[in-house]
Each structure stands twice: as structure tokens, then as C-alpha cells.
Amino acid sequence: MIATAVLPDMPPPAPRRFQLRAVDATARFLLLFGAIWMFVGGLLSVIFTITIGPFWDDILLDRRGVTVQAATGTIEPTSLRVNSRRVHLIHYTFTDATGVARAGSGRTTDPAAFHGVPGIEIDYDPRSPDRTRVHGETASPMGGLILLPFAFFVAGAIVFAFGLRRVRAVRAIYVHGQAARAQVIGITPTIMRINRRRVMRVEYAFDTLMGRATGSTTAVDPPPVGGTLWVLHLPSEPKRNVAA
């Protein structure tokens, strides 16, 4: 008896229900790592904002801050360190432009410069007088480095958006595409792994009314070279295709 290969079932007619397995490894990679970077960057941004202060304080004080004289109060150490130097909190009182007496505090890594000094210069925001800092210092002891976690969040959001865009494109083809039987013409390993198994890049070719078309997908257990698989493509643009 001659053994015959078992061919995969033909996809149902369009419009068909989208299957998550149609999403290739590249899109999954973009979504996964984009989400991880967004989560880590967002979490660190929230933690830094709560414990150190929002990064936009220095931006706003640079743009519209007013420098006034303040009376120095107590100076106390904090648990934060910058370049191995402990950050201290300086408490002070000042009068804003409207004549209202206010209390505030600022951070410094050089408390000795303020010990025994009855008055210091501070910057405050007239629109939000509670936003202050010691003049010449930063509201955030980390300075511009506090933006680093937010940069990770932004980078993750961009990567995630690319992955989501790829998924949406695949979904449109999968739901409305026309089925065709394709032949595997090449298999090459990628750098990606799923459950410790190497992901393979599968290249295929198939015939359409507009001529021969090619495409590629990724799979952990791909058909052999010369084997067949079902693909879905847009009849008006066969190069836009996905594995069924």
C-alpha cells in the first residue's frame, strides 16, 4: 500500500472567524515585548513620580518659575542617594507675589551649603505655588534621568503599536481573503524560540489569477520543503497573504 500525505483542511468561506493562531511569531514578539516595556516603564514612572516627584516639575519651573527669597527652616536627610551622595530635604517659608505666606521644601545633595544660612533663593510656580525647588537645584534629585522609565514606556508603546498594526492587517486578510493551496519552497531558522523550540521561517509559493505569488510565515512545526499548506490572500493584491 502506498502511503499518501494527509492534507490540511481547506479554510471555511469568507467572511470567516479570525483565529489567533494566524498571528505570526513576529507580531507576537512585538506585542509581548512592547507590553513588557510598557508595563515596566509605566510602573517605574509611577513609582518615581510618587517617591521622587513628577518629572514635569522641573520643566514647568524652568519655563515659568519665579525666583524669590525664602526663610530657611529645618534640613533633614532622606533615604535617596544620587552618585553616592545622600539627598537632603530643606524646608522653608516664603511669600508669593500675592502676599500669601507659604511653606515649601526642596532637595539638595549639598546640605552643608545651607546650614546656618537664614535665607535662600527658591523658585516657585505662580500658577501652582506648592511647586517649588531650591534655586540652582532640581525638583527631582535624579534630574533628567527620571525620564528614562518614561522613555521605556514610550518605546514599548511604539513597539506594541507596530505589533497591533500587524495583527490588524493579518486579521483583514484572514477574515476576507481567498483560500489557495501553497507549496513550501524554503525553511530557515529564526532567532526566536517558543517554549524553548526554535521558530522556523517558512517560505511558500502559490498560483493566483494574477500569476505566481509568494509569501512567508513562521511555525514551530512547519511542513517540509515540497509540502503544502493553505494560505489566504486578497485576490486584488496576492502579495498580501497569510497562512491559514
Kindly list the domain boundaries of the chain, sorted by start residue: 20-40+149-243, 53-141
Nearest of 113, 165, 164 to residue 134 by alpha carbon: 113
* Angle, helix 147-176 to helix 25-51, in steps of 10 degrees: 150
Confidence of residue 144 (pLDDT cuts 50, 70, 90): low
The reported pLDDT for the residue numbered 220 is 87
Predicted confidence at residue 5, as pLDDT, reads 46
pTM above 0.75, yes or no: no
Architecture of domain 53-141: Beta Barrel (2.40)
With contact defined as beta carbons under 8 Å apart, do 187 and 200 qualify? Answer: yes
| 119, burial (CB in 10 Å: exposed 0-12, middle 13-18, buried 19+) | exposed
Q: Which residues of 162-189 are buried (b: 16+ CB within 10 A; e: fewer)?
A: ebeebbeebbebbeebbbbebebeebee
C-alpha 33: how far from its chain's center?
A: 8
Q: Which residue has the higher pLDDT, 2 or 230?
A: 230
d(CA 126, CA 51): 24
pLDDT at 206: 96
* Higher pLDDT among residues 148 and 216, named by residue: 216
